[in-house]
Amino acid sequence: MSALLLALQPEVTERAADVVTTGEAIAFWILGPLALAGALGMLFAKNAVHSALWLVLTMLSLGVLYMVQQAPFLGFVQIIVYTGAIMMLFLFVLMLVGRDSSDSVVEVLRGQRLAAAVLGVGFAGLVVGSLARALTEVQPVGLAEQNTAGGGNVANIGTSLFTDWLFPFELTSALLITAAVGAMILAFSDRHGKSGKKTQKQLVEERFQGKRVGSLPGPGVFATANSVATPALLPDGSVAPESLNELIEATAKEQLADDVAEVAGTAHEADAHALKGSES
C-alpha cells in the first residue's frame, strides 16, 4: 500500500494545486465507492458487530484518501486513532454485550426521534453549505508547499498545533480528560470500604484460610454417568454434599445403589467358575 502511495505521487513538489493526477483519480474512484459501501453497510447490517466492521472499512478508506491527498500524517493518525483505538473500543463493548442482542425499538427519551431528525437535517445543511462554499469560493492552494518547506508535513502540523491553535488544542484535551475522569468516577469502587472489591491476593488468602482449599468434588465419579446431576460419593457410599449443585436436581441416591455396591464390593459378581457348569 505504501509503495503504491509513493508511486501515485511521483513528483510531490512540482504538482500544481488544482490538477488531479491519474493516480489520484484512480485511487479516488476505488476508495470513494468503498467508503460509501462501508457507510451503507453500517446502516443496513443486521448484526451490530458487522455494522462496526463496515464502519471500519469506511474509516480505512478515508485514511488512505488523506494519504493520497498529501496528508500522510493525518491519514495514519486516522487509522491509528479511529480504526485502531475508537472502533476497537466499540467492538469491545459490542462483544461484551453479546452477539445476539438486538436493538430495542422502545423510545426511552421522549421526542428523541424528532430531535434526531431536526439535528440531522441541520447537520446535513451545514455540510452541504460548507461543501458548496469550498467548491465555489475557496481557492485551493494544495499541500505541496507545506509538505516541503520548514521540516515537512509532520513538523508543520506540530508547529501550527502548538502556536496558532494551542488554545483549541488544549481545550480539546481538557474535554477528553473530563470524560476520562468522569468515567473513572462512575466506575470507581472503594477498595478499603466495606463493600470494596477484594484483590486477587486477598481472595487467595481467604480461600486458603477457609474450609476447603481445593476445588469442589466433581460430579459423576462412576463411568456409568458423568452428568452434573450425578453426585459424588464419599468412600463409605454416602453422597458428598459439596458436590450437589444448587440449581440442578441431583439424581436420587437410590439410583446409584448398584454403583455403590459395585465399588464397595458387595454386589453380586459373576462367578468365573460358573462357566464350568455345576461342580460334579
Partner 1 sequence: MTTQELLADDPVWLILIKVVGIFAFLVVMTLFMINWERKVVARMQHRPGPNRVGPNGWLQSLADGLKLAFKEDIRPVLADKWVFFLAPVISCIPAFLAFSVIPLGGEVTMFGEQTALQLVDLPVGVLVVLACSSVGVYGIVLSGWASGSPYPLLGALRSAAQVISYEIAMGLSIIAVVMYSHSLSTAEIVKAQESGWFAWLLFPSFLIYVISMVGETNRAPFDLPEAESELVGGFHTEYSSLKFALFFLAEYVNMVTVSALATTLFLGGWRAPWPLSAIGDGVLNTGWWPLLWFVAKTLFFLFLFIWLRGTLPRLRYDQFMRLGWKALVPGSLIWIVLVSTVRAWKTEGGFTTQQLLIVFGVVVGILLLVSVLLPDKKQVDENAVPLAGSGYPVPPLDLRVPKAVPKKSVKAAKLPKEKAAVTTGKEAGDGDV
Interaction site with partner 1 (CB under 8 A): 1-3, 5-7, 10, 47, 49-50, 53, 56, 60, 72-73, 76-77, 79-80, 83-85, 88-89, 91-92, 95-96, 99, 147, 151-155, 199-200
Q: All 3 cell numbers of residue 65?
A: 484518501
Minimum distance of partner 1 from residue 79's CB (angstroms): 4
Minimum distance of partner 1 from residue 128's CB (angstroms): 32
Taking the least distance from each CB to partner 1, the nearer of 77 and 250 is 77
Contact 23, 7 (CB under 8 A): yes
Minimum distance of partner 1 from residue 84's CB (angstroms): 3
Minimum distance of partner 1 from residue 236's CB (angstroms): 22
Minimum distance of partner 1 from residue 72's CB (angstroms): 5
Minimum distance of partner 1 from residue 163's CB (angstroms): 15
CA 214 to CA 165: how far, in whole Å? 62
Minimum distance of partner 1 from residue 67's CB (angstroms): 9
Counted residue by residue, the chain has a size of 280
User: Under DSSP, is residue 158 helix (H, G, I), strand (E, B) or coil?
Assistant: helix
User: Under DSSP, is residue 233 helix (H, G, I), strand (E, B) or coil?
Assistant: strand
Minimum distance of partner 1 from residue 216's CB (angstroms): 19
Taking the least distance from each CB to partner 1, the nearer of 38 and 72 is 72
Distances in whole angstroms, Cα of residue 4 to Cα of each of 64, 66, 73, 147: 11, 14, 17, 19
CA 235 to CA 230: how far, in whole Å? 16
CA 190 to CA 200: how far, in whole Å? 15
- How many CB atoms lie under 10 A from the CB of residue 140? 9
Q: All 3 cell numbers of residue 20?
A: 488531479
Contact 140, 17 (CB under 8 A): yes
Taking the least distance from each CB to partner 1, the nearer of 154 and 234 is 154
Taking the least distance from each CB to partner 1, the nearer of 173 and 238 is 173
Residue 174: half-sphere exposure toward Cβ, Cα within 13 Å: 6
Taking the least distance from each CB to partner 1, the nearer of 54 and 221 is 54
Residue 56: half-sphere exposure toward Cβ, Cα within 13 Å: 16
Taking the least distance from each CB to partner 1, the nearer of 83 and 243 is 83
Contact 51, 28 (CB under 8 A): no
Taking the least distance from each CB to partner 1, the nearer of 157 and 250 is 157
Taking the least distance from each CB to partner 1, the nearer of 118 and 204 is 204
User: CA geometry: angle at 131 spanning 126 and 136, to 5°?
Assistant: 130
